[in-house]
Chain A
Amino acid sequence: MLMILEPVMRVIEWPIKFLQDKLGLKNPAWIFLFPNLVLFGLFAFLPVILNFAYAVTGTDAILLSDRPFVGGSNFTALLDCENFADPNTCRDDLFWRAVWNTLRFVVLQVSLMVAFALITAIILNREIRARGFFRAVFFFPVLLSPVVVALIWKWILQREGILNAWLDGMGLETFNWLLDRSWAFGWSVFLSVWAHMGFYTLILLAGLQAIPRDVYEAAKMDRASPWRVFRRITLPLLMPTMLVVLVLATIKGVQTFEEVYAFTGGGPGSATTLIIQYVYETGFAGAPRLFGPAAAASLLLAAVLVVLTIIQLWINRKNVDG
């Protein structure tokens, strides 16, 4: 390998040495990082700065030069509530409906998904027949586009869908699953769990496989029951992986949009409208396009995600430090 790289290193050695002679030992690193920094800045930092700019300006104009400064009024409008738990008392009730929907969605989706992913990972970690096949089956939905996931379940659950046809065929009462607020929300959580569970199962499976076998063998020699083995060995040793899965799933859950939007459109009414859909509809799909409130809402969302990310970093550091 070194023999192959040697001619390449000789070619780039001269300019590096030249720069080091002229600029010292530290500065050339910045020069080589510069192209990447420019690209990263252009596509990552600039949009964030622009988002701030849109959040503190008004009107439906798209060019910043045409947008007057309005200070924090977009934020105060979003946060103007008599009782934050009751969207009907908020000036922007749709924003708070989306916030509460998102919160309920994340709590339900994450807890169900992590629980099912753990059960699935434990089963798939055993010496069962066709284990590879089942691992593939559980992972397959992760490969599907969110819109495809939504359409598949819409075909199943709509009024004249497969589920109702099956119920009808069995002589049972059919039901319009997507017209009932609670059912529509429940199915949205379900399809999201179905679509993403495979990914977390894979991570937990890796965590399970990292647990040393000899610990289990020792437990077996001590005649520990399977439940005790799970509680005293598997769960504690899997906890670092579980925490990472929990935080990752929570961040992903807060960001959910495409599959639920394609599945229910946020309805019935606003029963399944999540916060990203609120941002999209306020800023892009409505008329006039309210870029200011949309940018302000996205910044509030970003603040929540930053908090979650800090928690994740803290947990990771704690694990590394032991």
Chain B
Amino acid sequence: MSTLKKALAVSVAAAGLTAGAGAVSAQEITYMCSSDGTECSTAREIFDRFEAENPGVTVKIDEVPYKAILESLPVQLAAGTGPDMAKVTDLGGLNKFYLDLSPYVDTAAWEENFGGTLDWYRASADDKGIYGLHSQLTITGAYINKTLFDQAGVAVPGADATWDDWAAASRMVAEKTGTDFPMAMDRSGHRIAGPAISYGAKLFDDNGDAILVDDGFTAYVQKFVDWHEDGTMARDVWAGQGGSSYQDAAQEFINGQLVYYYSGSWQVGRMDRDVGDLFDWVVVGSPCGAGGCTGMPGGAGIVGFSDTEHPELVAKAIDYLAQEENYAEMTAKTKNIPAHAAVAAKGVDYAGASAGAAAALNAWGAQVGKLEGPAFMYQGYKNNRAMFNITVQRVTQAIVGELSVEDAMMRAKEDLAQALAEAN
């Protein structure tokens, strides 16, 4: 063998050995992430440290639109081609695909810090597994354009004001200031649930089975439809769409065309950035009804999937995010309400947030105590997305006059029965 051939053979063998050794030690996991603001970039910063502490480990972040998480991820998971971990919002609905982290993490610490949200990821009350890190606790409620109230000389209703009080005040402000719309609510079944519970909706029967429609629910829907008819609520948001597609009214609020906007805590960053000094905006939480003054808890969490080839590593990565200092950093940078008990107890330093945003985040934090039982139960129910979609579809039909409220509610009950019969 010539010298050249020998050199080549040695080089090829060395390259092969190096590649082989690399393949043995290198572990890559994929994290499918969607972002309302800085969620994915913040996760990247924290995972950079994780990678530095765990040589050979790579966390690849696949940033996708939220729609992909809702529509593509479940199909990928069913086909066994999903990522190793993902940020999800259909918390209980995807439970059958989750990786149980409990064999790999300190379960006592997780129960202590995330006890309030762990159930949302579980399949049933008997399920004691640990499946998800609730990274983004949200709560629904309202923002008002305080500047418009001041200009109109209308007093801002107090903390125990009812929906009717807010509707009357918003109408008065809109009329006096020539604002386009008194009120608007995001087109979402999740959004309307809090007000409905405040009107006495239970959503579940005494056995814990989903019913969606009861007298309280119907009463709020009737009120909601009436407000669309008399111009209290902006028709564009709910009546301007078909199917169960989501639509918010944030841009109308930011443009100063809206007095009262019912959305949620995740809009703080957007308000802070886009409203700026144009007007004063204030978080006023959820108005009251006969059943309380509740919004809906919610948000997103990070879960691992049981099909992963690296279950221990996935659990380790999620556990790293759950560590108090990392979780506090994530909450502060993404401007969210903490679901981690210790972080919440110490308070979050929203460094870089404006005074208005910091005040809003604290105001949202104060709303958590007002949440009613059915709201937690609804958020944790695995088929809640079906109920949200049915609500949007049928309530919209009542708003545009395709169905009466009574017929819409009857159809909603039938839809739910069919959905539950088909759901695995």
Contacts and interface: CB of A to CB of B under 8 A. Distances in A.
B385 A269 contact: no
Interface in A291-316: 292
B244 A285 contact: yes
Interface stretch (A8-16, A105-113, A208-216, A271-279): A271-279
A229 B244 CA distance: 53
A268 B400 CA distance: 7
A88 B403 contact: yes
A266 B242 contact: yes
Interface in A17-65: 58-63
Contacts of A268: 239-242, 396, 400
A102 to B, nearest CB: 14
Q: Which secondary structure dominates chain B's binding surface? A: helix
A288 B386 contact: yes
Contacts of B388: 287
A58 B242 CA distance: 26
Interface stretch (B22-30, B71-79, B301-309): B71-79
A95 to B, nearest CB: 12
A240 interface: no
Q: Which secondary structure dominates chain A's binding surface? A: loop
Given A179-B235, A265-B245, A267-B396, A62 B240 contact: no
B423 interface: yes
A60 B423 contact: yes
A66 B423 CA distance: 12
Contact of A61 (B235, B240, B424): B424
A281 interface: yes
Contact of A281 (B79, B235, B243): B243
Contact of A159 (B93, B236, B385, B386): B236
Contact of B240 (A59, A178, A273, A284): A178
Contacts of A93: 411
Interface in A226-267: 264-267
A266 B243 contact: yes
Given A181-B400, A270-B402, A285-B71, A290 B422 contact: yes
Given A269-B402, A270-B402, A176 B422 contact: no
B119 interface: no
A268 B392 CA distance: 12
A241 B396 CA distance: 44
A62 B423 contact: no
A171 interface: no
B405 interface: no
A159 to B, nearest CB: 6
A176 B236 contact: yes
B170 to A, nearest CB: 19
Contacts of B419: 287-288, 290
A286 interface: yes
Interface residues of B, number: 37
B422 A58 contact: yes
A270 B424 contact: no
A62 to B, nearest CB: 4
Given A62-B79, A270-B402, A288 B236 contact: no
Contact of B242 (A267, A286, A289, A290): A267
Q: How many of chain A's residues touch chain B, expressed as a range? A: 35 or more
A62 B75 CA distance: 7
Contacts of B386: 286-288
Contacts of B385: 287
B78 A62 contact: yes
B383 interface: yes
Interface string B136-178: 0000000000000000000000000000000000000000000
A264 to B, nearest CB: 6
Contacts of B239: 179, 267-269
B372 interface: no
Interface string B399-424: 11111000100010010001100111
Nearest to B80: A63
Contacts of B418: 290
A179 B236 contact: yes
Interface in B187-243: 235-236, 239-243
Given A273-B242, A273-B243, A292 B402 contact: no
B142 to A, nearest CB: 22
B84 interface: no
B263 to A, nearest CB: 19
Contacts of A59: 422-424
Contact of A287 (B93, B402, B414): B93
B243 A288 contact: no
Specify which of A273, A284, A286, A290 lies most central, judged by the most chain B CB atoms within 10 Å of its CB. A286
B90 interface: yes
A143 B235 CA distance: 34
Specify which of B71, B93, B236, B239 lies most central, judged by the most chain A CB atoms within 10 Å of its CB. B239
A272 B422 contact: no
18 contacts: A59-B424, A62-B75, A91-B414, A179-B235, A264-B241, A265-B240, A265-B242, A269-B397, A269-B399, A270-B402, A271-B400, A273-B242, A281-B243, A281-B244, A285-B243, A286-B389, A287-B389, A289-B74
Nearest to B393: A94
Nearest to B235: A179
Given A178-B240, A287-B419, A288-B386, 11 more contacts: A61-B424, A62-B78, A94-B393, A264-B241, A266-B243, A267-B396, A269-B242, A270-B397, A287-B90, A288-B419, A292-B422
Contacts of B79: 62-63
Interface string A174-186: 0010110100000
Contacts of A60: 422-424
Interface in A160-181: 176, 178-179, 181
A288 B240 CA distance: 24
Given A59-B424, A269-B399, A284 B71 contact: yes
B242 A272 contact: yes
Nearest to A267: B242
B227 to A, nearest CB: 15
Interface string A97-140: 10000000000000000000000000000000000000000000
A279 to B, nearest CB: 12
Nearest to B419: A288
A176 B235 CA distance: 10
Specify which of A176, A267, A285 lies most central, judged by the most chain B CB atoms within 10 Å of its CB. A267
B421 to A, nearest CB: 8
Nearest to B93: A287
Nearest to A264: B242
A74 to B, nearest CB: 10
